[in-house]
Amino acid sequence: MLRIVRSVLFLGILLASLGFALINAEIVQIDYYFGHWEVPLSLILLIAATAGALFGVVSCLGAIFRLKREVSRLRKAVKMSETEIMNLRSIPMKDSQ
C-alpha cells in the first residue's frame, strides 16, 4: 500500500514539475563576473532547488555523525550492562542462616 502511495505521489510531483517547466520555458540571462549564460528559467530553478537540497544535507551531516556515534556508545553501554546482569544472575545465592 505504501509503495502505491509513493508511486502516485512521485507521479504527481513529476507531472507538476513538467507542467511548471513548460510554463516557465522562457530564456533568461544569468550574468556573472566573466560572462553570461542564457538558459531556460525552469533549469535555473531546478539548479537552485538542487543546490539548496545539497546544502541542507551537508549542513546536517555533522549532527547526523555525532548522533550515530552517541547511538553506538549507548549500544555498547547497554550490551555491557546486559552482560553484567547475566553474570550477576548466574552467581549462586548464599543463604544467610
Query: pLDDT tens across 21-63, in order?
Result: 888 888 999 888 889 989 988 888 888 889 999 999 999 999 9
- Give residue 96's pLDDT: 63
Model confidence at 95, pLDDT cuts 50, 70, 90, reads low
Structural domain of residue 47, as residue ranges? 19-90
Q: Provide the pLDDT for residue 14.
A: 86
Question: Could you tell me if residue 37 is inside a domain?
Answer: yes
- 42 neighbors 20 (Cβ within 8 angstroms): yes
Any idea which residue has 563576473 for its cell?
A: 33
Q: Is residue 3 part of a domain?
A: no
Please state, in angstroms and rounded to a whole number, the distance separating the CA atoms of residues 49 and 26.
Answer: 18
CB 25 within 8 Å of CB 42:
yes
- 24 neighbors 42 (Cβ within 8 angstroms): yes
Domain assignment present for residue 23? The answer is: yes
Written as one letter, the residue type at 81 is: S
Q: Is residue 80 part of a domain?
A: yes
User: What's the rounded Cα separation, in Å, for the pair 19 and 90?
Assistant: 69
Domain assignment of residue 65, yes or no: yes
Domain count, the chain: 1
